[in-house]
Structure 1
Amino acid sequence: MARDIRKMMQEPPKEFQKLPKGHEARFEARLNKVFSPGDRTAEKKRDTFFFLRVAAMIVVVLSAGYLGYQKLTEETTNALVETPVKPDENVNENVAQITLGDISPDLKKVEEFYLTGINVQMASLQTTDENKEIVTGYMQRLAELDAEYSRLNKELNEVGPTEASITALIDNLKLRLDLLFKLKNKLKELKNQNNEQLNSIEA
């Protein structure tokens, strides 16, 4: 099929085929349809709406992030502010208080174990008119032990942790818990005696 260009140039030009009637009008109508000003406006509107949606989503995400950050910092601030601090008159306020838990994690576990046990036993005590004297006596002894515990803590902060002070603190906690167990057993015995007396009276 390759033809020599020189020969093609020497040949007389052929007449071009004429386009069918109405071809030009149909072609122009198609162009107008594709590139009509109405479609361009709709396309611009679509682009505008797309960018508006993207902008709205960005605003929503940033707002949610900001509000979440504010909420978290507010909770942290409230937690720090609302922590009650009980000042101890005997200890200098500028000095940080040392507890058993600050010395070692094992001592912290021991201290938490005894303090939790003491709190549970204290919460479960039921005082009645019949056992009021016994409970009052034990409570006075517990108050003395509590004051002794505070004194030992003060000594721990002033002198520093020694084996003797640590042992004394743990023994104090142990003694308070044992005392509460004895009180509970005493109250059970008293209750059982009262029940036996009631049963013997009824019989």
Structure 2
Amino acid sequence: MAQDIRDLFKKDNENFREKMSEGHDLRFLNKLDKKLPEHGKPSWSWLQIAASLVLLLGFSFGVYKYFEKPMEVQVADTPIEFEEIPTKSLRDISPDLKKVEDYYLANINLELSKVKLTPDNKELINGYMSQLEALNKEYKRISLELTNSGPNELTVNALITNLKFRLNLMYRLKEQLQTLQTTDSINKRTNV
């Protein structure tokens, strides 16, 4: 009864070597093409890659926001007082320049005190005041430069020129107000 296993396998292989019917493989390939056509389906691989990238970016942003520490802002209970930087002006350089500065500042303040604000001239005065404020800021900047670099001819002349501009600005405002006042009074007389 003992049979050689190799002999059994040889006999078994001969039994299964039956021939398939004619055109069997062609029919199988046609059926396969109908069920899974090669060229009919679009390739969605690029869409899958894009979706993966969007998910990865969204996840990364979520992790970043989760671990991000909020900026802590501490508000002081008492008001902050800023120290004004001491600056030099013309009066600190010499007594003669002090007189020049005092002359211009006194005349500027005198002209400012003469200005009377009315609804008719409010817009005009506001325009001149904004120009005067710009000149004041420039004067402070030049004074700071004088403090940092020391007195020299250019900075002293720039300070004096600034004072002249401010005084001339006040004179022009005075003239404009007088012109406005005379045209208003002429208009009132002709309307009566």
Number of positions where the alignment pairs a residue of Structure 1 with one of Structure 2: 111
> In the alignment, residue 103 of structure 2 is paired with which amino acid?
F
The aligned residue for residue 180 of structure 2 is: 190
1:123 has 2:137 as partner: no
The letter for the 1-side match of 2:138 is E
1:168 aligns with 158
Equivalent residue number for residue 98 of structure 2: 108
Show the counterpart of 1:138: 128
Residues 18-58 of structure 1: CA deviation (Å, up to 9, x unaligned): xxxxxxxxxxxxxxxxxxxxxxxxxxxxxxxxxxxxxxxxx
CA RMSD of aligned residues (A): 1.3
TM-score, with length taken from structure 1: 0.53
User: 2: distance between equivalents of 1:144 and 1:177?
Assistant: 14
Secondary structure of 1:130 counterpart = coil
Runs of 5+ in structure 2 lacking a partner?
A: 1-81
Structure 1 alignment gaps of length 5 or more: 1-85
Task: State the TM-score, normalizing by the size of structure 2.
Answer: 0.56
How far did residue 200 of structure 1 move? 0.9
Q: Distance in 2 between matches of 1:173 and 1:151?
A: 13
Deviations 1:111-147 (A, max 9, x none): 0000001111111110111111110000000000000
1:66 matched to which residue of 2? Answer: none
Deviation string 1:132-178 (CA, Å, 9 cap, x unpaired) is 11100000000000000000000000011110000000000110010
Identity, % of aligned positions: 41
Supply the distance in 1 between the matched residues of 2:169 and 2:142 (Cα, whole angstroms): 19
- Which has the larger share of helix? 1
- Return the offset for 1:97: 3.5
Alpha-carbon distance in structure 2 between the residues aligned to 1:97 and 1:188:
37
1:8 aligned partner: none
